[in-house]
């Protein structure tokens, strides 16, 4: 049987349990098919939605571990491409979770806005072939000035 893109991309994923690794690949395949949909919209019913939220709540599942598995593949694509130049594009974006009950969020552009910042590095060739995300930082600012 042929491996899927997600199976190949995350072949080095180590979440400490092979079942978690398989679930991660399955979720990635689900979300790649419909990247604009929310988790409940992308999942096939309430049972799958609950399983997805349980997966993300697992302390062994971190964005850093998922990113490391992907960046390993990005590095290999860079080597194989033999491109003399790789463009590493960076930008910072706000992930706005305002109105949602989520812990450890900080203020964003204004005091009442809650969320976190994401600063990824996307690697592409000069011909605009995307190789993947080679690095990312996520952080939050402290409490609002009014809460200090």
With a CB cutoff of 8 Å and minimum separation 6, the contacts of 131 are 74, 77, 78, 81, 86, 123, 124, 125
pLDDT along the chain (148 residues), means of 10: 90 96 96 93 94 96 95 94 94 90 84 91 95 95 60
Q: Count CA atoms within 13 Å of residue 128 on its CB side.
A: 0
Q: Is 23 helix (H, G, I), strand (E, B) or coil?
A: helix
Asked whether the beta carbons of 113 and 107 are under 8 A apart, the reply is yes
Domain covering 1-61: architecture: Orthogonal Bundle (1.10)
Q: Which pLDDT belongs to residue 8?
A: 94
Residue 131 burial (C-beta neighbours within 10 Å; 0-12, 13-18, 19+): buried
The overall pTM is greater than 0.85: no
Q: Which pLDDT belongs to residue 112?
A: 82
Domain ranges of the chain: 1-61, 85-148
Taking residue 67's Cβ as centre, other Cβ atoms within 10 Å add up to 18
Give the integer Cα–Cα distance in Å for 94 and 109: 8
What is the DSSP code string of 96-126?
Answer: E-TTS--SS-EE-SSTT-EEEEEEEEEEE-T
Q: Which pLDDT belongs to residue 48?
A: 94
Q: Which pLDDT belongs to residue 2?
A: 81
Q: Is 118 helix (H, G, I), strand (E, B) or coil?
A: strand
């Amino acid at each position: 049987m042929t491996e899927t893109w997600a199976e190949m991309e995350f072949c080095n994923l180590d979440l400490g349990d092979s079942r978690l690794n398989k679930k991660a690949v399955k979720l990635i395949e689900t979300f790649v098919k419909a990247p604009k949909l929310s988790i409940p919209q992308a999942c096939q019913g309430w049972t799958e939605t609950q399983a997805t939220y349980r997966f993300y709540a697992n302390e062994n599942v971190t964005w850093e571990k998922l990113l490391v598995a992907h960046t390993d593949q990005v590095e290999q694509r860079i080597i194989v491409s033999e491109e003399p130049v790789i463009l590493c594009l960076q930008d910072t974006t706000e992930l706005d979770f305002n109105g949602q009950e989520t812990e450890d969020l900080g203020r964003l552009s204004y005091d009442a806005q809650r969320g976190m910042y994401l600063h990824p590095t996307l690697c592409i060739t000069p011909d605009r072939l995307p190789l993947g995300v080679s690095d990312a930082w996520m952080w939050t600012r402290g409490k609002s000035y009014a809460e200090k």
